[in-house]
A = this chain, B = another copy of it.
Amino acid sequence: MPTAQILTIGDELLSGDTVNTNLAYLGERCRRLGFEVVRALSVRDRIPEIVAAVADVTVDLCLVSGGLGPTSDDLTAEAVALAAGVPLVRDAASEAAIAAVFAGFGRPMPDINRKQADLPAGCDVLPNPVGTAPGFAASCRAAATSPACRGCRAR
C-alpha cells in the first residue's frame, strides 16, 4: 500500500487555538484512496521549518494543508518552491480565477490576494471551486535539498 504523510501548517495548530480537524479529514480521505498515512506533522508559519518538513518526507505522497492565504504569514507556496529548487511564478489562470471570486461578491480583487496566484514553477495547479487559494501539486523528487521527497500536494 502506498504511504502518505500529512503536513499541516500554522501557529494556531500548535498554540491550542485551533483543533486540527483538517488532519482527520485528510487522513480519512487518504485511507479511502488507498494510502496509509504513516505520519502527521504540524509546523509553524516559518519558511525554514516548512522547508525542512517538506525536505524530510520519505513517503509516496505528502499532503500539505495551510499557509495558502493572502497574508504575510502564508508561506507554503514559497517554502515548497524552495524545497523543490524552483522559483515562484504568477499563474495567470489562477489570478483570473481569484479575481472572478471577488467579482462574484461585486468587489475588486485586493492587491494582497494576487500573491495567492504565485506558485512553484512547473507545479500542477489544482483549481479551487470554493475559495480564492488554488492548490497545487509539486514534485520535490529532483531537488537537491530534498532527495527523499517523492511527491507533494499543497492545498
Contacts and interface: CB of A to CB of B under 8 A. Distances in A.
Interface stretch (A16-24, A86-94, A110-118, A143-151): A16-24
Contacts of A14: 6, 27, 37-40
A66 to B, nearest CB: 13
Interface stretch (A41-49, A76-84, A121-129, A130-138): A41-49
Copies of the chain in the assembly: 2
A30 B14 CA distance: 9
A55 to B, nearest CB: 14
Contact residues on A (Cβ < 8 Å of other chain), bracket: 20 to 34
Interface string A2-43: 000010000001111111110111111111000001111111
Contact of A15 (B19, B28, B42, B44): B28
A16 B20 contact: no
Contacts of A41: 39-42
Contact of A20 (B24, B26, B44, B49): B24
Given A17-B24, A39-B49, 15 more contacts: A13-B24, A13-B40, A14-B37, A14-B38, A14-B40, A15-B31, A16-B25, A16-B29, A16-B31, A17-B28, A23-B42, A38-B49, A39-B41, A39-B44, A41-B41
Interface of A: 6, 13-21, 23-31, 37-44, 49
